[in-house]
């Protein structure tokens, strides 16, 4: 599920392709429908976006995406929610999403892995702290039964797992140089409003990505290995049925 043209799957897509996984992209910003269920899929990945996971206004596909995520978790499919996608996953599994009391978290920062991450299928063997790109103003409470995997000094809930195969990442692990530059170009005003300097984010990207890349690739390759299917990349336009009513 892709909500904005610039917020592509980036390194998630490359990891899936390396694993021989068929990728179908529902570009909701271009009018693609959300699949009515996940029975035809081996995995669901939901990307980020500037809309709120708390309300339907400006986010017509919100309820359909939550239903899709809930169904994927119930089926035990590998699931990955990034930023907005993590908030939607939390909501789908009984957690609550709210405006972050500490204000927006934007730019390069560090997340610290929890002890529970030591035995996680994606995060085991990772360094205790990893640099990541933050770009959010909302946060969430962990759903019942969730395993807490990472936090930051500003927001404690940065990564979690539901069951054995569904992960929510509040931060942007998937970024490469192009992605980081795209975020700054598209959302520089948000960075300034949050007290960050867009040019400083750009300047920090090279060093941060140098540290992040091997950890990013390890996590995403592990996720892709859980999915595993023949590769064929295409757009997904869904069926002709309308989205569920509000």
* Catalytic positions: 83, 172, 174
Query: Residue 192: left if φ>0, alpha if ψ -120 to 50, beta else—which one?
Result: alpha
Nearest to 89 by CA among 120, 116, 62: 62
SS3 call for 93? coil
Integer Cα distance of 18 and 220 in angstroms: 10
Integer Cα distance of 150 and 130 in angstroms: 10
Q: Which residues fall within 8 angstroms of residue 178, CB to CB, at 6 or more apart? A: 10
Cβ 77 vs Cβ 44: under 8 Å: yes
> Containing H/E element for 81?
strand 79-82
How many of the other CB atoms lie within 10 Å of CB of 20?
13
Which letter does DSSP use for residue 27 in this model?
B
DSSP secondary structure string, 96-165? -EEE-TT--EEEEEEEEE-GGGGG-TTTTT--SEEEEEEEESEEEPPPTTPEEEEE-SS-S-SEEEETTT
């Amino acid at each position: 599920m892709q909500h904005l043209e610039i917020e592509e799957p980036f390194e998630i897509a490359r990891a899936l392709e390396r694993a021989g996984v068929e990728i179908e992209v529902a570009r909701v910003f271009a009018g693609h429908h959300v699949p009515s269920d996940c029975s035809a899929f081996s995995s669901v990945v939901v990307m980020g976006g500037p809309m709120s996971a708390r309300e339907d206004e400006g986010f017509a596909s919100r309820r359909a995406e939550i239903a899709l995520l809930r169904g994927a978790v119930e089926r035990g499919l590998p699931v990955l929610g990034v930023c907005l996608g993590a908030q939607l996953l939390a909501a789908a599994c009984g957690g609550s999403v709210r405006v972050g009391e500490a204000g927006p978290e934007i730019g390069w920062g560090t997340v610290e892995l929890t002890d529970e991450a030591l035995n996680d299928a994606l995060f085991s063997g990772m360094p205790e702290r990893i640099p990541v790109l933050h770009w959010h103003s909302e946060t969430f409470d962990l759903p019942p039964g969730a395993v807490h995997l990472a936090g930051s000094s500003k927001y404690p809930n940065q990564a979690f797992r539901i069951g054995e195969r569904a992960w929510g990442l509040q931060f942007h692990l998937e970024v490469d140089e192009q992605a980081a530059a795209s975020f700054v170009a598209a959302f520089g005003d948000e960075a300034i409003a949050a007290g960050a300097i867009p040019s400083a984010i750009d300047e920090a990207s090279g060093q941060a990505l140098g540290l992040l890349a091997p950890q990013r690739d390890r996590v995403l390759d592990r996720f892709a290995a859980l999915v595993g299917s023949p590769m064929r990349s295409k757009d997904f336009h869904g069926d002709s049925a309308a989205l569920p009513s509000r």
